[in-house]
Structure 1
Amino acid sequence: MSTATAIPSRLKWWHRLDSTGGGLGLDLGLYAVSAAFTAITAATSTLVTHRHWGGLAALGYLTAALLATGQLLVRRRRPDSALAGVSARWLVTGLAWATTALLPLTWQSIQRAAGRTDRAQEEVLVVEDSGRRLLETGTPYLGPDSIAALPPGEQLLGYTPYQPGMALFGLPRALHEAWWTDTRVWFALGTALALILALRLLLRPTPTGPTGDPATLLRAVQAATVLPVCALTLATGGDDLPVLALCLLALAFAATARPGWAGIAVGAAGALKLFAWPVAAVLVIWGLTRRAGLRVAAGAFGLPALALLPTLLVDHGALVENVLRFPLGHGLVASPAQSPFPGYLIAANVPAGRLVAAALLVAAGLAIAVRLARRPPRTARTTSLICGYGLLTAILLMPTTRFGYLLYPIAFLVWALALDPPRIRQPADEEAPRGVHLRT
């Protein structure tokens, strides 16, 4: 089955766009627009870490754009040249990620270790402090009384609005201070390992060729690595990238008919951050359609539960304060996550705006739940699309959110195109009768 025939008719427009110049047209557009974005960021951002990233990353994106231009010119003269083929495009993508994410990350980590205090975003400090507390007290969280005792300017950093597993990335810094123990280095390592494993699953060799399509997977990997929102996040903060990569790995397990491992991967992501929990729920429903719901749920909810249990036993009040009260806006200080999306604008400018935004968010959640009940996802591709559209809706409607969270829905929506390996038989998802029943 060819890639074109494997793509539903509603996505053929994307396939035509992505096929322009053998994929090099969209490559060039991605790198050129990203170079402009990073240059603007370097010149206008109010955050020192973002300006520093922009100055370095702009050169990386510009180099990648020049290489893509050269590949297009080569392809016009010699369409069959290896320099314009998929393998060469993979090399340019790897170079782009190295120069726009890994190089700025390493540079900032080295400068921070040398004494620069403006070379890491607040989440880096928070995760490292949580790792130290985990070693010293058995819980990564400060209780409300301890946070209240901090100076007013430090109370925000006293909160750890992550799941307990995130503190593991802060352990290297707690054990030894060096540039390579910077939390971002370990975020990058975890992200790379998860994505490499996902690629191995989806590109598994068979007697007739690779399982998946390398060109489609390249575009999916670009959406999770070299897209500016991803590269910026990894280089300056980084906590979202291993969560995203583990979710994408879970979807790759689902696409290759490994429901148990899909549950374990998304469960590991859920032990790091709440953003993975909706993905886990959708994957469990996918598992139910394959008579594997319990196998998915065991890992998807079991691992986060195991991570929460010790901290719950040590200090349940600290857990509630950090993981529930603060993200919901009931902490001692307000969250700085206030990007001007509709939910925030409604909450800030409309009478009883928080209630209105909350009602819209609940209504959207109910609509998605009805869709899942009536037409549960039977393929990994549809599962990824539902996760992408669902998270996009939630991010736009949440009263407290960040621009950087958009990396989740963007990656899920693009990754979906790679989740129908032509040499692995998938059920006919959209042609399924509407009355399909869920079975465990």
Structure 2
Amino acid sequence: MTAHTDPATPAARRWAALDTAAGGLALDLGLYAAATAFAAITAVTSTLPPHRAWGAVATIGYALATLAATTQLLARHRAPGTPLAGLPARWTITAFTWATTALLPVVTQSIERAGGRTDRAQEEVIVVEHAGARLAEHGTPYLGPDAIAALPPGEQLLGYTPYQPGMALFGLPRAAVDAWWTDARVWFAVATALALAALVTTLRATAAPAPPRRAAALLRAVQAATVLPVGALTLATGGDDLPVLALCLLALALAAAGRPGRAGLAVGAAGALKLFAWPVAIVLICWAATRRSGSRTALGALGLPVLALLPVLLVDSDALVENVLRFPLGHGLVTSPAQSPFPGHLIAETVPAGRAVAAALLVAVGLTIAVRLLRRPPRTAAATALICGYGLLAAILLMPTTRFGYLLYPIALLVAAPALALADTRNGPGIPGNPRAGTGRKAYT
């Protein structure tokens, strides 16, 4: 939804024109209409029962949002300046859409699952809940390679927990009580909502200029993380990526507000859940170094994941390595089913020595980003978000085993960049007392 790296580029101007057309309502209408079609097609054609169930409910929610956006456009045309077409009304429709296309499906599928339906959750929900039970009983969420090998062949995949130890916390409620509200997705949704609420509060509280533009950009960022089908579908059927993404966005918002220590804690909490947050943490530490706050950010960004890893490492180090390293790298007892037809997967499957080629391309991208960070580290939260967004996009496209849903990360990070730029309290060179701070210039350097 965004392709700019500098506010003066033609791409940035085109995006701004599209984003602000009809007061932002034109893009709202296009988003909701396209999402309605996507949800309807998913309900009819998906081969995954949880996805079909999501589509049946979400189609109605998106259709109502499309109708509401159409009404807003007509009202704006007839009476410019009407509150019906203003930002508060757009926020209300966004909240309604998320409630009907993500939260409602979470609740309905959790209730149906508690009632005996075995086809109302993706494997990651079951994996996280099993990890929570093992954490409560054994002190580690991971099974060792011998224990996984002893499982029946059809159950070995579910024996793996390819997440960081903190993810097992979302499975603890189910370990204590077997009820619909202990479904891991319910707690994924709660954590996501709390992190996004903190993000909105943080960016609204900054003293940056142009509050109407900032509020509109913030709304677009929240839409990207909530009501886009890739996010709503993910939360309703699996959900483990949403709290990770929300915490990463919160970390960037805290960076824009000039709070490097808290930014480190937020991204560190995300890193304690999933490896996807670790690249964001590294780039954020580079940003903090330009503000002479690298150690403060690194303390939380690296310290929290290490604290989460130490206990399980002491309990069973081989189980940790098997689940967190060998399995994601394709060296486990079974192969990951995450095989969306992106370039990396196609190269790995069709080119001689394809896995080595894909790995080499990944390394090349990583080295390019590392050189960029060393030579020209990001000096704003917006630049940090762009580097993370484009870097994760390249990694997702080139990884041999990946999922379509992972695109949620780069999309949300890139769309959040304008909101971060307009809220950044110290845009420009990261020097204390910078006289250009808060001018809104050089937001993407």
The question of a shared fold, defined as TM-score above 0.5 by the shorter chain, is answered with yes
For the 8 Å contact 1:343–1:398, the answer to whether it is kept is yes
Report 1:359-438 matches (<5 A): 359-421=360-422, 424-428=425-429
For the 8 Å contact 1:203–1:212, the answer to whether it is kept is no
Report 1:324-343 matches (<5 A): 324-343=325-344
Distance 1:37 1:334 in 2: 29
Amino acid at match of 1:293: G
Distance 1:352 1:129 in 2: 36
Distance 1:295 1:211 in 2: 32
For the 8 Å contact 2:338–2:401, the answer to whether it is kept is yes
Shift of 1:358: 0.4
Secondary structure of residue in 2 paired with 1:337: coil
> What is the match of residue 191 of structure 2?
190
> What is the match of residue 8 of structure 2?
9
Q: Decide whether aligned partners of structure 1 residues 207 and 276 sit closer, same or farther in structure 2, where only a CA change above 3 A counts.
A: closer
> What is the match of residue 3 of structure 1?
none
Shift of 1:370: 1.1
For the 8 Å contact 2:208–2:425, the answer to whether it is kept is no
Q: Residues 366-394 of structure 1, C-alpha deviation per residue, up to 9 Å, x if partnerless?
A: 11111111111000000000000000000
Shift of 1:421: 3.2
Q: Decide whether aligned partners of structure 1 residues 428 and 18 sit closer, same or farther in structure 2, where only a CA change above 3 A counts.
A: farther
Q: Residues 400-421 of structure 1, C-alpha deviation per residue, up to 9 Å, x if partnerless?
A: 1000000000000001110023
Q: Decide whether aligned partners of structure 1 residues 423 and 238 sit closer, same or farther in structure 2, where only a CA change above 3 A counts.
A: closer
Shift of 1:259: 0.3
> What is the match of residue 46 of structure 2?
45
Q: Decide whether aligned partners of structure 1 residues 194 and 181 sit closer, same or farther in structure 2, where only a CA change above 3 A counts.
A: same
Q: Residues 344-372 of structure 1, C-alpha deviation per residue, up to 9 Å, x if partnerless?
A: 00000000000000001101111111111
Distance 1:257 1:13 in 2: 30
For the 8 Å contact 1:395–1:401, the answer to whether it is kept is yes
Distance 1:423 1:280 in 2: 18
Q: Name which of structure 1's ranges 304-313 and 14-23 shifts more when overlaid on structure 2.
A: 14-23
> What is the match of residue 437 of structure 1?
none
Shift of 1:331: 0.3
> What is the match of residue 353 of structure 1?
354
CA RMSD of aligned residues (A): 1.8
Identical residues among aligned pairs (%)? 71
Q: Decide whether aligned partners of structure 1 residues 150 and 87 sit closer, same or farther in structure 2, where only a CA change above 3 A counts.
A: same
Q: Decide whether aligned partners of structure 1 residues 205 and 427 sit closer, same or farther in structure 2, where only a CA change above 3 A counts.
A: closer
Q: What is the TM-score of this pair, normalised by structure 2?
A: 0.94
Distance 1:342 1:307 in 2: 34
Amino acid at match of 2:337: P
For the 8 Å contact 2:94–2:223, the answer to whether it is kept is yes
> What is the match of residue 129 of structure 2?
128
1:315 equivalent in alignment to 2:316:
yes
Amino acid at match of 1:25: A
Shift of 1:8: 1.2
Distance 1:207 1:353 in 2: 49
Unaligned runs of 5+ in 2: 431-440
Secondary structure of residue in 1 paired with 2:422: coil
> What is the match of residue 107 of structure 1?
108
Shift of 1:212: 7.3
Shift of 1:425: 3.3
Distance 1:102 1:401 in 2: 25
Secondary structure of residue in 1 paired with 2:428: coil
Q: How many aligned residue pairs are there?
A: 428
Q: Decide whether aligned partners of structure 1 residues 414 and 264 sit closer, same or farther in structure 2, where only a CA change above 3 A counts.
A: same
Report 1:188-227 matches (<5 A): 188-204=189-205, 213-227=214-228
Distance 2:58 2:358 in 1: 36
Q: Residues 269-303 of structure 1, C-alpha deviation per residue, up to 9 Å, x if partnerless?
A: 00000000000000000011000000110000000
Q: Residues 9-39 of structure 1, C-alpha deviation per residue, up to 9 Å, x if partnerless?
A: 1222211111111000000000000100111
